[in-house]
Chain A
Amino acid sequence: QKEVEQNSGPLSVPEGAIASLNCTYSDRGSQSFFWYRQYSGKSPELIMSIYSNGDKEDGRFTAQLNKASQYVSLLIRDSQPSDSATYLCAVLGSKSTFGDGTTLTVKP
């Protein structure tokens, strides 16, 4: 079992829809959780960080964390074609672990 697991996808949504990306992690002591976006051939760029249970909103993005269930999610509202990318879930701190990503395609 991988330490950070994501839905392998690919995920396809129409423009304007909500995209939902999910992630589970195995280390109950983890404290810091991140979503990175990676375009093909590029390096990861930070979208969201979340440290406490609950929701955190930033523009069209909402991250959700449930430490009891060891679950992190990312919602993208009003999805745009420019959101088409691979989304990486990461648990960073004393250990740094990334999931293998979920590839999202937003169709115009």
Chain B
Amino acid sequence: DTGVSQDPRHKITKRGQNVTFRCDPISEHNRLYWYRQTLGQGPEFLTYFQNEAQLEKSRLLSDRFSAERPKGSFSTLEIQRTEQGDSAMYLCASSGGVAAKNIQYFGAGTRLSVL
């Protein structure tokens, strides 16, 4: 069990470019979550997968954001045509197992800076 892994840790991009982030959950976890966090705020829910199915997506998520979890393993979050307002920490969390009781474990996050 190596924990939740996110890549890259930091991403600097120019406005208008597309970016993609990857999350590898804890191996036995079937649920995977993406959050966005800005300074002074708590994590804001973006989307949730159970296995490969995307079960929830925040209404706050614009069409520029898309997430996938092929084969129920790792997940990717893509932001198209980035805007300066997209600058934030993007956090991935996973949960699962019989005794999990909704506990979510977080990765280290990907910090995005849009110039």
Measuring CB to CB, which residues of chain A are less than 8 angstroms from any residue of chain B? Answer: 4, 31-32, 34, 36, 42-46, 49, 51, 88, 90, 92-101
Q: How many angstroms from the CA of A93 to the CA of B101 in the assembled complex? A: 8
Q: Do B106 and A92 touch (CB < 8 A)?
A: no
Q: How many angstroms from the CA of A36 to the CA of B12 in the assembled complex? A: 28
Is B108 interfacial (CB-CB < 8 Å)? yes
Q: How many angstroms from the CA of A79 to the CA of B15 in the assembled complex? A: 44
Measuring CB to CB, which residues of chain B are less than 8 angstroms from any residue of chain A? Answer: 33, 35, 40-45, 48, 56, 89, 91, 95, 101-109
Q: How many angstroms from the CA of A51 to the CA of B103 in the assembled complex? A: 11
Q: How many angstroms from the CA of A93 to the CA of B48 in the assembled complex? A: 11
Q: Do A42 and B108 touch (CB < 8 A)?
A: yes
Q: How many angstroms from the CA of A98 to the CA of B89 in the assembled complex? A: 15
B59 to chain A, nearest CB (A): 12
Taking CB atoms, residues of chain B closer than 8 Å to A99 are: 42
Q: Which of B33, B56, B101 has the most CB of A within 10 A?
A: B101
Taking CB atoms, residues of chain A closer than 8 Å to B48 are: 96
Q: Do B104 and A92 touch (CB < 8 A)?
A: yes
The answer, among B40, B91, B103, B105, for a CB contact under 8 Å with A100, is B40
Q: Do A100 and B33 touch (CB < 8 A)?
A: no
Task: Apart from A44-B91, A96-B48, list 6 A-B contacts with CB within 8 A.
Answer: A46-B103, A49-B101, A49-B103, A92-B104, A96-B45, A100-B42
Complex: chain B residue closest to A103, CB-CB:
B40
